[in-house]
Chain A
């Protein structure tokens, strides 16, 4: 027996949530699927693979004001940016939820990032288990799974006429509408089977591959835009600048990518990662070697967004396979 919510009751519940807090869910924007704040339940998309951009922007916005300093009548007033009301993200996939947990490592390690912490504290995750998988998905090779309950507050799994409801945390429990749930004798469908990517031992292989000409050859076609980093749930580099007008100074943080030329350019003009190969190697080293070394988990959660979005088909799955083979094959 499982906790169950009918499709109709789910819509009712989501409507209630819209009234009490910010509800963020996948919605159609032109022909894209994006996580947006929802005003009407009819705008929510339930039948989808995954969104183009990850939900990380709800914890780590593409641009965020860190604080304001206002000068009025000779007085200065420092105002930290305020976080708005409670939020629930509906429709987050287990891989993306795992991605948010991965982001907790750098952001919440002391001294914690206060704004990120506030976003995390006020946000509940209502996950949606994956019934099908995109061709590019490989979460099972990266420590996750299509029905993984580890990183969400509630997980819904679609069955006939409704969803199995699994409540994982107190935050999830507090969100639930008791009178809309039932128990039902339904079992979860089998999770979709994904292709296996040989991620076992990849960190050590990446360390060994550091000086290989493989990276320069791969980087030949990389155009060094920011797409992979920006669609990725677990990329978190940013830049901080102050913007001023007569009365207000605003400190803003915005997304940045290690892929863009000049990312590591420093005062005096020196650039330790001036070559295309060194920048490309950096991203994969961070995901597959440095992040696991530092935090004990792979930085990539296998959502496949970078694979879909890269204009020149730089494919992390292919890279993992190639790097695993590098020691085995003789020099190309």
Chain B
């Protein structure tokens, strides 16, 4: 029996808004695919592009960053910095050959449990169609 491809998704969720939103999805018993592995960070502004590039190197098929809506950051400005940094990273990842569908940034508030589930569902579905990202992990040099 063929094993269906299950995308591996790494999610960086800010503690105050998006992680709480994901938690709300859970307590509300809203189902969404379990492909996403969630890493809780204090703020989307903490997300270093290195973490994202490393996730892809280690075998992630998709990476999702979620933070507070601009203007609502728990630390006032963290997500403004994140917005600039991650917007640039998005075009750069595409340029080095990581398809733009594999990286998403979403603003999800603590009350948006349903929205969180939708975000993850559609991201996962898109990645299932796109296929796995062939990893360069431990590839031997010639």
A contacts, CB < 8 Å to B: 36-37, 61-63
A62 x B142 contact (CB < 8 A): no
Closest residue of A by beta carbon distance from B137: A245
Q: Is B141 on the interface with A (CB-CB < 8 A)?
A: yes
A37 x B141 contact (CB < 8 A): no
Chain A residues closer than 8 Å to B141, beta-carbon distance: 61-63
Q: How far is the CB of B1 from chain A (nearest CB, A)?
A: 24
Chain B residues closer than 8 Å to A63, beta-carbon distance: 141
Complexed CA–CA distance, A37 and B140 (Å)? 13
Chain B: interface size category: under 10
Chain A residues closer than 8 Å to B142, beta-carbon distance: 36-37
Closest residue of B by beta carbon distance from A57: B141
Complexed CA–CA distance, A36 and B142 (Å)? 7
Q: List 5 A-B contacts (CB under 8 A).
A: A36-B142, A37-B142, A61-B141, A62-B141, A63-B141
Q: How far is the CB of A94 from chain B (nearest CB, A)?
A: 25
Complexed CA–CA distance, A62 and B140 (Å)? 11
Which DSSP category, helix, strand, loop or mixed, fits chain A's interface?
strand
Closest residue of B by beta carbon distance from A250: B138
Residues B92-142 near A (CB distance < 8 A): 141-142
B contacts, CB < 8 Å to A: 141-142
Complexed CA–CA distance, A30 and B29 (Å)? 56
Q: How far is the CB of B19 from chain A (nearest CB, A)?
A: 25
Closest residue of A by beta carbon distance from B141: A62
Q: How far is the CB of B139 from chain A (nearest CB, A)?
A: 11
Chain B residues closer than 8 Å to A61, beta-carbon distance: 141
Q: How far is the CB of B100 from chain A (nearest CB, A)?
A: 28
**Sorted from nearest, which 3 A-B pairs have the closest CB atoms?**
A36-B142, A37-B142, A62-B141
Chain B residues closer than 8 Å to A62, beta-carbon distance: 141
Complexed CA–CA distance, A328 and B18 (Å)? 74
Closest residue of A by beta carbon distance from B142: A36
Q: How far is the CB of A252 from chain B (nearest CB, A)?
A: 10
Complexed CA–CA distance, A77 and B10 (Å)? 31
Complexed CA–CA distance, A226 and B141 (Å)? 19
Complexed CA–CA distance, A62 and B142 (Å)? 11
Q: How far is the CB of B122 from chain A (nearest CB, A)?
A: 30
Q: How far is the CB of A24 from chain B (nearest CB, A)?
A: 10
Complexed CA–CA distance, A189 and B7 (Å)? 63
Complexed CA–CA distance, A69 and B142 (Å)? 24
Complexed CA–CA distance, A37 and B141 (Å)? 11
Closest residue of B by beta carbon distance from A243: B138
Q: How far is the CB of B34 from chain A (nearest CB, A)?
A: 19
Closest residue of B by beta carbon distance from A24: B142
Closest residue of A by beta carbon distance from B138: A250
Complexed CA–CA distance, A63 and B142 (Å)? 12
Chain B residues closer than 8 Å to A37, beta-carbon distance: 142
Complexed CA–CA distance, A37 and B142 (Å)? 7
Complexed CA–CA distance, A61 and B141 (Å)? 10
Q: How far is the CB of A57 from chain B (nearest CB, A)?
A: 9
Complexed CA–CA distance, A62 and B141 (Å)? 9
Q: How far is the CB of B141 from chain A (nearest CB, A)?
A: 7
Complexed CA–CA distance, A165 and B43 (Å)? 69
Q: How far is the CB of B55 from chain A (nearest CB, A)?
A: 14
Q: How far is the CB of B83 from chain A (nearest CB, A)?
A: 33
Complexed CA–CA distance, A109 and B141 (Å)? 28
Complexed CA–CA distance, A61 and B140 (Å)? 11
Complexed CA–CA distance, A36 and B141 (Å)? 10
Closest residue of B by beta carbon distance from A245: B58
Closest residue of B by beta carbon distance from A34: B142
Closest residue of B by beta carbon distance from A63: B141
Q: How far is the CB of B135 from chain A (nearest CB, A)?
A: 13
Complexed CA–CA distance, A36 and B140 (Å)? 13
Complexed CA–CA distance, A55 and B47 (Å)? 42
Q: How far is the CB of A40 from chain B (nearest CB, A)?
A: 14
Closest residue of A by beta carbon distance from B58: A245
Q: How far is the CB of B60 from chain A (nearest CB, A)?
A: 14
